[in-house]
Amino acid sequence: MTTAAAPLEVRNLTKHFAVGGGVRRAHLHAVDDVSFELRPGKITALVGESGSGKSTVARLLARLYDPSTGAVLFEGGDVSTVRRRRDVLRYRSQVQMIFQDPFGSLNPVKTVRHHIERPLRVHHVVPRGQIEGRVHELLSTVGLVPPEDIAAKYPHELSGGQRQRVAIARALAVEPKVVLADEPISMLDVSIRIGILNLMARLKEERGIAFLYVTHDLGSARYLADDILVMYAGQIVEHGPIEQVLSSPLHPYTRLLLAAVPDPATKLHAQRIEMRKGRASAAVDPPEGCRFVTRCPLAIEVCSRVTPPLVEERPPQAARCHVTAPAS
Amino acid sequence: MTSSVEEPVLQSTSDAKLLELRHLTVEYGSGAKRARAVDGVDLTIHESEIVGLAGESGCGKSTIANAVMHILRPPARIAGGSIVFNGEDLVGKSAEELRRFRWRNVSIVLQSAMNALNPVMRVGDQFIDAMRAHERIDRRRAIARTGELLELVGIDRRRARAYPHELSGGMRQRVIIAMALALRPELIVMDEPTTALDVVVQREILQQIEALKREFGFAVLFITHDISLLLEFADRIAIMYAGEIVEAAPAARLASNAQHPYTQGLLRSFPPLTGPITRLTGIPGSPPDLRDPPSGCRFHPRCPHCLPEQAALSIRQTTERPVLRPVQPGHEVACHLVAEASQ
């Protein structure tokens, strides 16, 4: 992979959380040895079930958490440990986050104008005299028209989809190079989700923004993204170009996810998914070995002994599986 | 998996009507703030049929679930119509009659199972409480039955001793489904039962519901915003918009031949996992405020076929409320366009 063009690169990122106390103290391996890069004008989907660590990855990149080990490189420099306010501000002006809940991410007693103005002022994006004009421009960009009317409204006067657009306009205010979108459509009504996806696709094209799209929804990931990262129990178990991965998945977990998505073309009982009972991705002090082994229909003896490495079985598609992507 | 449950009913293919909503109207609030969440809905569920009810948030689908269960709370009230179960109208029944009716005849499974279970009571004790509230059964038999019900939904019977927090979200949802089965109701209302769960767990639970349905022959009213799930799972689907049913058809027919522009828009809102990726448009605008619904067809402000150029049609669309009309046996649509075309 080339690193020159990547504004954001993640190397061997690991985050452990302490759980329990005293003699029952243990460590949840929320993110374990995760590496990838986000490229300008590309959307990378990060998919997995709840508890797989995908939101933790987004939060690590947004510097909401400090990593246990590993590095987050922004334009070549490690930002995972920056502490000085000026450096943090500089990073946050380049890497923005959009959250799942458009009801919780806006201040209910402030107008839309306030939400968009604030980053413009804090980061000195434009001279004071131009702030008003820029607010309206940003609102128009995300499809909130007429901007003069919308700017004066309070969050409760807007629908969920409109609020999410405000959150996107706020993220765009600082002209970021990277946007981290954590389940941005999962709380929205079905009929307006596509509008938000199309907006993100347009911003990618027009502004060359590098997007991380965190989701559990494979259909929307395929619609929007160029590349995919599949996470299971804190590890990336498969990654590659999204069409390639979804049309010929290597990892048994990716196959399971694909089989579980409702497909109007088939009847439910026609396609029973092959699965063994096992605990879903819990990674509390995980032993050596593949973390999917208890649910895997393909498991062989070595799987419970040795953690499989990520192998580029069909470059650039790679998977962590002794059976379908054996290390040579 | 064997069941304790005596005399399992074989799947019946009868056309017997189990539940019939006749022009059901439910209102919230009063005066200027009055909102009709459900406005003149007709819906029939036959024995051992899975009927899906789909729509966006605020369209009234959960209000229907609550009305059927008679668990509407003020300021909501049934303002008109009837809910006929096995030939008997439930509207106007006494609280005691309704209490007996609930669970014995109809049970409900809600979205957030984690909130439905009492966190400080063992799961098994909650089963026993529920059973003993509705029938005379001694404790030992109730315990045995609890074990059997848990095994029916794929949970080890020893987990009856667990507290809810010791179970995963998927397991808790299965516990709730097992509880809903406890008194062998003829109808189970499921309101977004899998929405909070991951796709893999969701599929396991749906397959389980279907297997149980085949074994016991209960009917299901399945409420969700996810129409793609219903196409796979339901026998018949009704689409709700702004308090009204705008289209109802067998699942296969709806998948291939949806007629209402809203249904078509919903179907186009799910990006496919296979085949070519085409640019989707979703549905522009957002659902209306039910305190002040649009005149005429409630979908007309968002409808791509409501154009001022077509003056005659557009006047009807904006002033006249369309009614559900059959376009084929079993397939009904409430749309001026469709009514026009079929005349």
**A101 CA to centre of own chain:** 14
Instruction: Assess whether A119 and A32 both reside in one domain.
Output: no
CA distance B197 to B116: 15
pLDDT confidence of B326, banded at 50, 70, 90?
Answer: very high
Crossing angle for the helix pair A190-207 and A160-172, to the nearest 10 degrees: 20
Q: Which pairing describes strands B219-224 and B187-191: parallel, antiparallel, or unpaired? A: parallel
* Residue B190 within a domain: no
Instruction: Assess whether A171 and A197 both reside in one domain.
Output: no
pLDDT of residue A207: 94
pLDDT confidence of B343, banded at 50, 70, 90?
Answer: low
pLDDT of residue A2: 44
Record: contact B232-A267, CB cut-off 8 A = yes
pLDDT of residue A82: 81
Instruction: Assess whether A115 and A157 both reside in one domain.
Output: yes
Q: Complex ipTM above 0.90?
A: no
pLDDT of residue B342: 62
Assign B134 to helix, strand or coil: helix
CA distance A117 to A110: 11
CA distance A244 to A314: 9
pLDDT beyond 90 at B15: no
Record: contact A49-B199, CB cut-off 8 A = yes
pLDDT confidence of B245, banded at 50, 70, 90?
Answer: very high
Identify all chain A residues contacting B266, using CB atoms and an 8 Å cutoff.
Answer: 190-191
Nearest of B85, B334, B109, B331 to residue B221 by alpha carbon: B109
| Cβ within 8 Å of A, B 134-173 | 168, 170
**A124 CA to centre of own chain:** 28
Record: contact A191-B255, CB cut-off 8 A = no
Identify all chain B residues contacting A262, using CB atoms and an 8 Å cutoff.
Answer: 199, 203, 226, 228-229, 231-233
> Considering CB atoms only, which of A189, A195, A264 is closest to B228?
A264
Q: Is B92 on the interface with A (CB under 8 A)?
A: no
Q: What is the DSSP letter of A227?
A: E
Identify all chain A residues contacting B225, using CB atoms and an 8 Å cutoff.
Answer: 189-190
Q: Which residues are B262's β-sheet partners?
A: none
> Considering CB atoms only, which of B199, B266, B280 is closest to A261?
B199
Instruction: Assess whether A235 and A285 both reside in one domain.
Output: yes
| Cβ within 8 Å of B, A 22-61 | 49-50
The CA-atom distances, in angstroms, between A150 and each of A82, A145, B76, B203, B333 are 37, 7, 32, 41, 36
Query: What burial class does residue A2 get, using C-beta atoms within 10 Å of its C-beta: 0-12 exposed, 13-18 middle, 19+ buried?
Result: exposed
Q: How far is B139 from chain A (nearest CA, A)?
A: 31
Share of chain B above pLDDT 90, in %: 39
* Residue B39 within a domain: no
Identify all chain A residues contacting B284, using CB atoms and an 8 Å cutoff.
Answer: 195
Q: Which of B273, B277, B303 to mutate to test the interface with A (most CBs of A within 10 A)?
A: B273
Q: How far is A123 from chain B (nearest CA, A)?
A: 33
Q: How far is B195 from chain A (nearest CA, A)?
A: 10
> Considering CB atoms only, which of A190, A262, A268 is closest to B269?
A190
* Residue A326 within a domain: no
Number of independent structural domains in chain B: 2
Q: Which of A189, A199, A202, A220 to mutate to test the interface with B (most CBs of B within 10 A)?
A: A189
- Domain termination residue (choose one: B134, B156, B184): B184
- Domain termination residue (choose one: B184, B216, B242): B184
Instruction: Assess whether A154 and A261 both reside in one domain.
Output: no
pLDDT of residue A134: 94
pLDDT of residue B2: 43
Crossing angle for the helix pair A160-172 and A112-122, to the nearest 10 degrees: 20
The CA-atom distances, in angstroms, between B185 and each of A245, B22, B42, B48, B193 are 44, 22, 22, 11, 17
Number of independent structural domains in chain A: 2
**Start-to-end Cα distance in chain A:** 20
Q: Is B212 on the interface with A (CB under 8 A)?
A: no
Q: Is A145 on the interface with B (CB under 8 A)?
A: no
Instruction: Assess whether A235 and A181 both reside in one domain.
Output: yes
pLDDT beyond 70 at B5: no
Contact criterion met (CB below 8 Å) for B183 and B128: no
The predicted-structure confidence for A256-280, as pLDDT tens digits, reads as follows 999 888 876 655 544 555 554 555 5
Nearest of B208, B297, B282 to residue B247 by alpha carbon: B297
Record: contact A191-B56, CB cut-off 8 A = yes
Instruction: Assess whether A18 and A121 both reside in one domain.
Output: no
Instruction: Assess whether A43 and A150 both reside in one domain.
Output: no
Record: contact A257-B57, CB cut-off 8 A = no
Record: contact B198-A216, CB cut-off 8 A = yes
- Domain termination residue (choose one: A157, A175, A193): A175
> Considering CB atoms only, which of B232, B273, B282 is closest to A222?
B273
- Count contacts between A and B (CB, < 8 Å): 111
pLDDT confidence of B113, banded at 50, 70, 90?
Answer: low
pLDDT of residue B49: 94
* Residue B173 within a domain: yes
> Considering CB atoms only, which of B265, B271, B273 is closest to A258?
B273
Q: Which residues are A97's β-sheet partners?
A: A180
**What does the pLDDT profile of chain A (328 residues) look like in tens digits?**
444 467 899 999 999 988 777 777 888 888 999 999 999 999 999 999 888 889 899 999 998 889 999 999 998 888 888 888 888 888 988 999 998 888 888 999 999 999 999 999 988 889 999 999 999 999 999 988 889 999 999 998 888 888 999 999 999 999 999 999 999 998 888 888 999 999 999 999 999 999 999 998 999 999 999 999 999 999 999 999 999 999 999 999 999 999 888 876 655 544 555 554 555 545 778 889 999 998 899 999 999 999 999 999 999 999 999 999 998 7
Length reported for chain A:
328
- Domain termination residue (choose one: B140, B166, B184): B184
- Domain termination residue (choose one: A114, A141, A175): A175
The predicted-structure confidence for B141-173, as pLDDT tens digits, reads as follows 999 999 988 988 888 888 899 998 888 777 888
Nearest CA in chain B to A218: B273
Q: Is B312 on the interface with A (CB under 8 A)?
A: no
Instruction: Assess whether A37 and A126 both reside in one domain.
Output: no
* Residue B246 within a domain: no
Identify all chain A residues contacting B196, using CB atoms and an 8 Å cutoff.
Answer: none
Record: contact B199-A216, CB cut-off 8 A = yes
> Considering CB atoms only, which of A189, A193, A272 is closest to B207?
A272
Arithmetic mean of pLDDT over chain B: 87
Q: How far is A246 from chain B (nearest CA, A)?
A: 8
Q: Is A171 on the interface with B (CB under 8 A)?
A: no
- Among A193-202, B234-243, B266-275, the range scoring the smallest mean pLDDT is B266-275
Q: Which of B200, B254, B256 to mutate to test the interface with A (most CBs of A within 10 A)?
A: B200
> Considering CB atoms only, which of B57, B198, B233 is closest to A189?
B57
* Residue B302 within a domain: yes
Count of CB atoms within 10 A of residue A248's CB? 12
Nearest of B245, B192, B109 to residue B236 by alpha carbon: B245
* Residue B222 within a domain: no
The predicted-structure confidence for B40-78, as pLDDT tens digits, reads as follows 999 999 999 999 999 988 889 989 998 988 887 778 889
Q: How far is A51 from chain B (nearest CA, A)?
A: 10
Amino acid at B18: L
Question: What is the arithmetic mean of pLDDT over B135-139?
Answer: 86
Beta-carbon contacts of residue A48 (< 8 Å; ≥ 6 apart): A54, A216, A230, A231, A232, A281
Beta-carbon contacts of residue A193 (< 8 Å; ≥ 6 apart): A185, A220, B269, B282
* Residue B36 within a domain: no
E strand segments, A152-302 = 178-182, 210-215, 227-232, 235-241
Q: Looking at residue A253, which CATH number applies to its domain?
A: 3.40.50.300
Q: Is B200 on the interface with A (CB under 8 A)?
A: yes
If phi > 0 it is left, if psi is from -120 to 50 it is alpha, else beta; for residue A141 that is: alpha
- Domain termination residue (choose one: A149, A175, A201): A175
In which domain, by residue range, is B294 found?
Answer: 267-342
In which domain, by residue range, is A130 found?
Answer: 105-175
The CA-atom distances, in angstroms, between B94 and each of A37, B83, B89, B99, B100 are 64, 14, 12, 9, 10
pLDDT beyond 50 at B23: yes
* Residue B201 within a domain: no
